[in-house]
Amino acid sequence: MRSSEEASGFVRAGLAAGEAPEALEAALVAAGWSGREAAAALARWQARPGLQPVPRPEARLPAREALVQGLGFVALAVIAWHAVGIGFLLAERLVPLPGEGPAWRGAARWPVAMLVAFLPIMVAVRLRKGEGATTPRRWAAAASGLVAALVLVGSLASAVHAGLSGDLTARFGLKLAAVVGMAALVYAAYRAELAGPAAGRRAMLGIAAVALAAIGAGLWLSGGPARGQAERRDEVRAADLAALAAQAQCLAAEGRNVPPLGPSEACPGQPRLADPATGAPYLLEPVAGGRLRLCAPRETEAPWADDPGRPGCILTDLRPPQDRPAPPGPSLVPPSGGILSD
């Protein structure tokens, strides 16, 4: 690795000989030094008429600068990870598998929260005024470029493996595009950082724009705060129906007719009989076969409905366990009797 002391010594000797700083910078670049290295060598000396070149004090990098750049690197990693996560959820939403439920709704909330929390940190670190190409900043840029390059190579390997396995589907392609797109953007930001802080800041604005788009997509997927409140209300209703079903079975075991439901000596407690959000009573309906149907209004795709054709309802069997039909399953006795017959 070339020592910056060589370029600094050349600049000092040139300035002492009366050479113009611009000519010295051009000579360094022509000799193979980068523009940044040449500018750094010139910045170490000040030419004063009638005096030898005066050395400027070297900038001291406090621990605070390393802490800030480390925080910026972590914020970039968190943003890239969760933006890709929302891209995965979008792929699952656009290309669902047969029988797949809307699990992407709740899964989108945490990535949105992380993006909202870390995006201002990344922007504040990368767009600070007066910040030059400090050593911690260059190291953070190099680390992000290395990780992005490794992700790109890994994505290529994943695509080849999926193609060989016959799993190169549209859903896989969308997820792969999310990973490759974000990795390419981070790597481009690293290259821009090498060109100078101004170019690096412009690249980070591009990453911030992608993060904002991911936040919007995540809010669309999750349904926003109103959807979350509706899911909480449905969870309360599901818990109420489960408590009512348990008390109905307890009362039926006592030999009581169900409905109505109410506390007894063996079944204390009074489950809630009405929807706490609307005040409407829950539906309790006897069904043939000694079963009870319990229904509640629902606002979302609640996973607790188990009565076909009756959204928001569950069925509970009030018969004693010995009188209930056995669940369907394979039989050990062949239809013709076979070797197990007497």
Domain boundary among 177, 193, 222: 222
**Quick one: 114 and 200 in the same domain?**
yes
Same domain (yes/no): 112, 192 = yes
Distance CA 269, CA 251 (A): 12
The residue from 222, 253, 283 where one domain ends is 222
Any idea how long the chain is?
342
Residue 266 and residue 313 in one domain: yes
* DSSP of 196-231: -HHHHHHHHHHHHHHHHHHHHHHHHHH-HHHHHHHH
Would residue 171 count as lying in a domain?
yes
Domain count, the chain: 3
Domain span holding position 277:
226-321
Is the full-model pTM beyond 0.75? Answer: no
Are 171 and 75 within one domain?
yes
Digit-coded pLDDT (tens) for 254-299? 888 888 888 888 888 888 999 999 999 999 999 887 888 999 988 8
Beta bridge partners of 281: 274
Are residues 88 and 120 located together in one domain of the fold?
Answer: yes
Residues near 110 by beta carbon (within 8 Å), at least 6 away in sequence: 82
Per-residue pLDDT tens over the stretch 293-336? 999 988 887 655 566 667 788 888 888 776 667 665 554 455 55
Instruction: Specify whether the CB–CB gap between 327 and 301 falls below 8 A.
Output: no
Q: Are residues 104 and 22 in the same domain?
A: no
DSSP output for 234-273: HHHHHHHHHHHHHHHHHHHHTT--SSS----SSS-S----
The verdict on whether omega for the bond into residue 260 sits within 30 degrees of 0, i.e. cis, is: yes
Whether residues 167 and 289 share a domain: the answer is no
Are 208 and 122 in contact by the 8 Å Cβ rule? The answer is: yes
Q: Judge if 216 and 245 occupy the same domain.
A: no
